[in-house]
Structure 1
């Protein structure tokens, strides 16, 4: 029920009239009536008319049933005024209570560092920079992930296409030789895994997917395999 109201010259700490009524040990509606009575008197005096807001400002609040009811935000100066108008033991107790309350709030206010416009800009920039660094790390982690199922299938197709080309086509004797075809796939897989330093193609880094396709497209047989494929395909000429 307390708040800090910003004015042109200073931060004024105010408490709700509901809280003040508890400190004064009177009904809230009676305190409202007392405040409005003094306000009417001040308004009749030109020099005091504009001073009312230094004491209290009218406000509203919602009760537990959702009704909007009148409330006042009372400054320390306003509490001092009300204390002067309260005689006897109640006045003394109220003075102690409101002084303790405002001291507590003012200490809390001092702990809150007010940033200059430049400091606010620096803080905003730092927040943005931190977010950007986080996004970069996330992107790096995503890029370092393994290829997805779609990319795996594309790599498999690229391997098959290259093997067909190197063996002389699907109708070639070399391609129809399952043993020789398996040797070519094995050699391609071995070179591929060594290049990426992985145990199998499924672990290909996602951010090197295009590089993987290029590697497959430029793969060539070893001298031994090349000779074996040539010999196997040449057998048809002598049949």
Structure 2
């Protein structure tokens, strides 16, 4: 078996200098360290594999086509910490490796219909768990990153529209008084930034966009600013 790759129920193994080596990709798939793309294809989560192996910050990273040592295989199984990884490790240590070391090959025991059904069910559970984790990661990304350009433009238009509305229109004296208009923009901006604890509108979390839009559309200036707006517009009417 020296340097010859053999495949045992999807797991690729070879022997190098008397040491059994495991294909990193098929080992990770067997342990459920994978994710499903929209196309339905199963992909190995390489950053997580390298993290489990302690290679995320130093050393050469493991990638597709690489083989890992037996100790690394066990380390990966322990860190994966799920039922699929435990069963996979048990299968390798109790069946595959003893058979290889005794005969140089592996003869898989046929699975009963019930065992096959249980294996398929557990695989489905792992897929569901991965999907849940991905949803959680996506939600975290939504909180971490700001608005995309199209939503930033919508938010800017909403703020501009609200300022015009509360000041009595584009052609009103209040809106055309620069100092007063700036005060209204500043007060609305401060309300939004204080509510969502941000220093600039571009930092607004995507998950808070709808709430921020509602806040903007329903916002009213405080009594002092409202008095100033009304006073400016009423004075203009008196002068006509």
The TM-score, its normalising length taken from structure 1, stands at 0.52
* Partner of residue 106 from structure 2, selected from 104, 109, 128: 109
User: 1:191 is matched with which residue?
Assistant: 191
User: 2:56 is matched with which residue?
Assistant: none
Task: Tell me if the contact between 2:173 and 2:233 (Cα under 8 Å) persists in the aligned partners.
Answer: yes
How many angstroms apart in 2 are the aligned matches of 1:237 and 1:146? 43
Q: How does 1:221-232 map to 2 (within 5 A)?
A: 221-232=221-232
How many angstroms apart in 1 are the aligned matches of 2:104 and 2:122? 24
Q: CA deviation at 1:207?
A: 1.5
How many angstroms apart in 2 are the aligned matches of 1:130 and 1:113? 29
Count residues in correspondence: 143
Q: When you count helix as a share of all residues, which structure comes out higher?
A: 1
Higher gyration radius (CA): 1
Task: Tell me if the contact between 2:174 and 2:181 (Cα under 8 Å) persists in the aligned partners.
Answer: yes
Pair 1:103–1:194, CA change in 2 (3 A) = closer
How many angstroms apart in 2 are the aligned matches of 1:4 and 1:105? 17
User: 1:156 is matched with which residue?
Assistant: 156
Pair 1:237–1:130, CA change in 2 (3 A) = closer
How many angstroms apart in 2 are the aligned matches of 1:228 and 1:181? 11
What is the aligned-residue RMSD (CA, Å)?
Answer: 3.1
User: 1:79 is matched with which residue?
Assistant: none
User: 2:119 is matched with which residue?
Assistant: 120
User: 1:135 is matched with which residue?
Assistant: 134
Write out per-residue CA displacement over residues 181-210 of structure 1, whole angstroms, 9 at most, x where no aligned residue.
000000000001111111121111111212
Q: CA deviation at 1:226?
A: 0.3
- Report SS of the residue matched to 1:221: coil
Where structure 1 has 5 or more consecutive residues not aligned to the other structure, the ranges are 6-101
User: 1:165 is matched with which residue?
Assistant: 165
How many angstroms apart in 2 are the aligned matches of 1:159 and 1:4? 62
Q: CA deviation at 1:165?
A: 0.7
User: 1:93 is matched with which residue?
Assistant: none
Task: Tell me if the contact between 2:146 and 2:203 (Cα under 8 Å) persists in the aligned partners.
Answer: yes
Q: How does 1:193-208 map to 2 (within 5 A)?
A: 193-208=193-208
How many angstroms apart in 1 are the aligned matches of 2:153 and 2:109? 59
Q: CA deviation at 1:230?
A: 0.8
Task: Tell me if the contact between 2:142 and 2:207 (Cα under 8 Å) persists in the aligned partners.
Answer: yes
Q: CA deviation at 1:212?
A: 1.3
User: 1:46 is matched with which residue?
Assistant: none
User: 2:236 is matched with which residue?
Assistant: 236
The TM-score, its normalising length taken from structure 2, stands at 0.52
Write out per-residue CA displacement over residues 120-151 of structure 1, whole angstroms, 9 at most, x where no aligned residue.
12431233123212321232134223111111
How many angstroms apart in 1 are the aligned matches of 2:205 and 2:198? 9
Q: CA deviation at 1:179?
A: 0.3
Q: CA deviation at 1:118?
A: 4.1
| 2:211 aligned with 1:211 | yes
